[in-house]
Amino acid sequence: MSEPSEQATKRSMLDNLKRIRQPVTWAVLVIICASQVLGIVRLTLLVFWEKTQVFAAFQEIGQSIMNLSLVIVLVALVCACLFIPPATSRAITLAKTSAWVVGIGTLLQLICLGLGLAASANAFGVIMEILGGLLDIALKAVAAGVLWVLVRGVKSGRLDLAPSAASASSAPEAPENAPVWRAEQATGTAWRSAREAASGARPDAGAVAELPPSEGPAIAPERQWRPRPRGDGEK
């Protein structure tokens, strides 16, 4: 495969990735929301349907209410929608919604961790759950903080959002080979004869400047034309 065709293939792949990044981000966000809703439904079924102990139910759903890998992927996709040109049409809305979803999921997991500690059998199990749970919650809290910083930074102008496709297409394109002069601005010199052109004399040398009619030379009153007086018998 030749080099131009490889470059065209890579460019086409990049364009396709840019085109699908916003739908993929929405899909990941929906999956995270669905996992939180399913976790709450699972907690309700464990407590009221299966008659499981409340603390044990919180301990069971605490680790599965929001996946850390999906949260990291969501943050990366939101950054791609915001800062890779052209920016998507719903980039800011997507970032704000993601920040709310990740923040709520982190809070729910923190509550589940705190209530689930009561179901641990011994002190060693409590310590291990605290260490593992706090590390997971800390990473998700950092992800939520990053999303909120992105939203606040873009809205306040501290972070520059990538230009959208509409603004990029509306910008006028400068001509590649713009002329340095225009035809109506062109001036030239013309000689009255070939001898003047060969001698290099200025074409206006020796010419008398034309005066406007109002500024012509004054004529003496006695030389001006007057009608001849007629005699008595002349007609």
pLDDT at 69: 93
* CA 65 vs CA 83, 185, 228: distances in Å: 30, 74, 124
* CA 80 vs CA 8, 11, 21, 77, 221: distances in Å: 22, 17, 8, 5, 93
User: Residue 146: which pLDDT band, with cuts at 50, 70 and 90?
Assistant: very high
Q: Structural domain boundaries of the chain?
A: 9-159
Query: Residues 154-170, buried b or exposed e (16+ Cβ, 10 A)?
Result: beeeeeebbeeeeeeee
* CA 150 vs CA 63, 64, 88, 155: distances in Å: 27, 27, 15, 9
User: Residue 117: which pLDDT band, with cuts at 50, 70 and 90?
Assistant: confident
Using alpha carbons only, what angle is made at residue 142 by residues 139 and 145, rounded to the nearest 5 degrees? Answer: 155
* Single-letter amino acid code for the residue at 159: L
CB 152 within 8 A of CB 92: no
For the stretch 81-114, pLDDT in tens is: 898 888 888 889 999 999 999 999 999 988 888 8
Q: Which helix (H) or strand (E) holds 171?
A: none
Taking each helix axis as running N to C, give the angle between helix 91-116 and helix 68-83, from 0 to 180 degrees, rounded to the nearest 10.
160
- List of residues 6+ apart from 171 with CB closer than 8 A: none
Mean pLDDT of the residues in the chain: 76
User: Is a pLDDT exceeding 70 seen at residue 21?
Assistant: yes
* Single-letter amino acid code for the residue at 76: A
CA–CA separation, 74 and 111 (whole Å): 23
- List of residues 6+ apart from 42 with CB closer than 8 A: 60, 61
Question: Tell me, what DSSP letter sits at residue 164?
Answer: B
Q: Which helix (H) or strand (E) holds 42?
A: helix 3-44
For the stretch 171-181, pLDDT in tens is: 455 545 555 55
